Amino acid sequence: MAARDGDKSCTMSTELPQLFDPAAAARAADRARRLGGDRFLEDAAIEGLADRLGAVTRRFERGLWLGDAVPPALAGFARDWDVARFGPGEELRYPPGQYNLAVSLFSLQAINDLPGALVQLRRALKPDGLFLAALLGGGTLSELRDAFAHGESATRGGISPRVSPFVDVRDAGALLQRAGFALPVADVERLVARYGDFVSLVRDLRAHGFTNVLAQRSRMPLRRDTLAAMLSAYGARHGAADGRLRASFDTLYLTGWAPHECQQQPLKPGSARARLADALGTREEVISRFPKAT
């Protein structure tokens, strides 16, 4: 609410801080489409999504795909697909409760309000609808982040944001619960690539659209002495015996269901009918936590 003349109250902003630059993210995605190249991370993630969908014993009627065209390997999991993107303001302009399935392949990577995006996706699902997403997780490019930190500290006396932050697997389940999903599951698969040179790593990142799109990124060109110090630190700290450079990529998979009364529900505390000691075949012992008063 804006303050009127003479009103001493302050205007409150409801806008979230912009971690990612939407314009830069759009440019990175456009360049990736033009470059093509070997998108091995996408191929591995598509296989991971297919494995998880294949474990579900049902075929979905209406699917919502976030991103570009539905990959052929996933198209058969829903009878009909709608393709969508988050628009300006990170809004998903689709009627609620229309879909049995919603799938994202790295399309949530540069979303500023990830909890809000998950809420919108949950609302787009019918009761007992499935949400499944793949995005880069916590340990991704940890070697590059470390090398940049050493290179900039040695040449500039400080560090600047060079690698985007990634969601940790331990926090992902909590995000799904916060968004209202039932039966949330978050798991991670790590892939370690080895590169003959740093240029090859940069080429793969550009082909995937995974370059630096942080809102607070440095706009200044990378200095030669900083680049040299970074490359030296990368080779010394994360180089393999054969001279190749290691680069870790964590693919985080999120799975959640729109709530429905037929789903499994956790038991209330104290309602168990069997003892854990009996199941484990051990003897139960009661340990007093406090000494008796004398």
Q: Are 125 and 258 in contact (CB under 8 A)?
A: yes
Tell which phi-psi region holds residue 145, choosing left (phi > 0), alpha (psi between -120 and 50) or beta: alpha
Tokens representing 270? 């104290």
**Total-model pTM:** 0.81
Burial class (CB in 10 A: 0-12, 13-18, 19+), 19: middle
Nearest alpha carbon to residue 169 among 190, 154, 187, 144 = 187
Q: Are 136 and 48 in contact (CB under 8 A)?
A: no
Reading the chain (294 residues) residue by residue, the pLDDT tens digits are 343 334 333 333 456 678 899 999 999 999 999 988 889 999 999 999 999 999 998 889 999 999 889 999 999 999 999 999 888 889 988 888 999 999 999 999 999 999 999 999 999 999 999 999 999 998 999 999 999 999 999 998 888 888 888 988 889 999 999 999 999 999 999 999 999 999 999 999 999 999 999 988 888 888 999 999 999 999 999 999 899 999 999 999 999 999 977 766 655 555 556 666 666 667 666 555 445 554
- CA of residue 250 relative to chain centroid, distance: 9
Distance separating alpha carbons of residues 71 and 47, to the nearest angstrom: 10
- Please report which helix (H) or strand (E) contains residue 193, including its range: strand 182-195
Q: Report which residue type is found at 18.
A: Q
Nearest alpha carbon to residue 44 among 251, 201, 246, 187 = 251
Distance separating alpha carbons of residues 215 and 142, to the nearest angstrom: 20
DSSP 110: T
Distance separating alpha carbons of residues 163 and 210, to the nearest angstrom: 9
Taken in order of first residue, the domains within the chain and their CATH numbers are 22-262 (3.40.50.150)
Distance separating alpha carbons of residues 258 and 179, to the nearest angstrom: 10
pLDDT at 132: 97
Q: Report which residue type is found at 158.
A: G
pLDDT at 4: 38
